[in-house]
Structure 1
């Protein structure tokens, strides 16, 4: 059984971006944290896209083997790449938007740092 939460308490994942950045503390801490978050998001997005493409290649090879189509691996890979780009553009839209917000935040902090020093 979990202990009751104090009134007005929000879980950490319920914080919006502004609250999360404010909770981090100093400007240098925010910058490195935001940069680390951006790197993590880009790696996650890249891994997700590669997984979609790898899954599509595997599916096309399976279809090729099941129906004895004798498609070249290069053709299956190119078809998977084209389909993967289209699928990931739709499926990972929210992740791309989070990356865009992080890029804007990092750029803004760098501009502010240049103005100050």
Structure 2
């Protein structure tokens, strides 16, 4: 909107919500009344509605093109989440086993 008419400021905040059809009650009624007499706000609303329409169509297209999750077979299900049980090191020792409960070079 290039030119803002006096008194448009309070209405401009609601234009996006109004364009989506989500403004209700007295706020929607007041904005609707304002739009009847304000060509700059009507023009901005028209732009916002075009953007909202583009976003809606893009979201629908993306949802249709999204890859479908593949089914997990019985063999994959049996081993899901099961990794090596050899401990923290490849040799099969965990830190506590390699150094004892008190840590490295401690005795006593």
TM-score (norm 2): 0.32
Indicate the structure whose relative CO is greater, using CA pairs within 8 Å and at least 6 residues apart: 1
